[in-house]
Structure 1
């Protein structure tokens, strides 16, 4: 079968790899019908060394169950399923607390950490299939597939940012970052009833989509100028919640600058800083809360799916480019160069 492999920074190739097969009785074999490139895939695209490659890529996928292990009980051949980016049994004590990213039986196992498997491929072996996979009540060619695919990561991640910030009706929210996760955070804050949603971004096509998703204001300025603009828009106080969807230190510093006393900074951008003295003096004096982390998107799928199925929301609008597997290397380049917001792949 064919799959995307990253050999080192900037070097993504489509190659033939061994077919995925059932290895454990709790596995399912899934033929992938839709996947995509994630903004977090660009981190190794910038940084991976040749000694770390080649690595299978992709952690967002929809597909058809082709085969199940002997202990799989909730799935059957022919089911259309969506897979979160984290593997979980969905029954352990952490899963029951909606923290599937800390599943005891597959702790911190993301698709990018599963050897020889990945979502940017023709097929994939899914461990702990009963807990990980969620059946979809549509056909593989449904017009809803792009929106349903966002449940695998990007929508659930944006929603996690808003939930961890405890966004409430009538509150003011700032979203830092106009990438796909930031736009999903805007949509999520709107869904939870935020009254004012300020999107900090400078790419017009993206911020226009942000307005469609519910942003009331757009701030293109960065740094101190951007902070001053947000405070001007909020009567000088800042916002109750700041959803940081970038992961770089300047974005976090911007978040500190625009959060109001007693507010929450919720971070879901994969941190690209290791030793920063975060959360001490900068937050203590104003009673600022720091929240966020890798999103347990499995916890949100059943909650968010009905709004997609009935057309209330259309998160799939974040996909602005479409390709087959052969176009994946170009898709990485286009996302890296900001020619594309998010690329959907149909193998």
Structure 2
């Protein structure tokens, strides 16, 4: 089961052009397109006439035309043209999903359209902040989306899984001063690793004045998104007191949108705030994160396969599972609330 009444990333803005773009979200096939006006529209991938997937159609002005018999649908989902027929049946319409384009991302609301809050779309201003540069990618992870949240909210795995990139010494991660708290929308984790050796990704891209640094990790979860702000500064130079200028700063967007119960669209970006006009630095950080997320992908997919092989077997929590478990409670509460309100698979509410 999925929570539907929240915003999920559907695509990067530059993925949506003047031709149908098909993806599946929460087990529902969807088509997105950019009309002549520039507005992005998302509709169900099914013509109401003979059920041909609309991904095979064409964009005509701001309308989407079916490739089978030429029915055209406007941005409200209403059929506006049936070739050779003047009268259009009132039922000739398709479902439209609310979408918002913001911060180089296209967000989609898969739930009850009457409950959509257009002002609650998550912010990610660093995609257009001149003080940061970023590169992006999208992966299809063969695992349930909750396992990716588990991974991102407990970074103690870095010292074991990511030794060659962002990891560093495992003991440093387990000894980090950690604070976890609930927020109005989700969960926040803050971790400090003082007087430690910086990991390879940091020293490859940034020149520190000392051999040891004070390192921070700030992780913010809300449904559909995890923002990560990490960095390091020379040990004793005031980073814990908020003086983070002249430091290695990294911001990571991690947006997980379920494709199915067993697969997840993972949208991510890697941004840095130093040596901004050196493309080689941006590329080097990006390539390090590609390696890092490739390692995570292998771990998560292997984990999920084993869970499918041994269904029903219990898992044992440890102390560092506080944040992942709190995030799961947020999801569980949303699903329970929607079930109580009667949100159906089609996103409508039951009578």
Calculate the TM-score normalised by the size of structure 2. 0.29
Instruction: Tell me which protein shows more strand as a share of its residues.
Output: 2
Instruction: Tell me which protein shows more helix as a share of its residues.
Output: 1
User: Which structure: larger Rg?
Assistant: 2
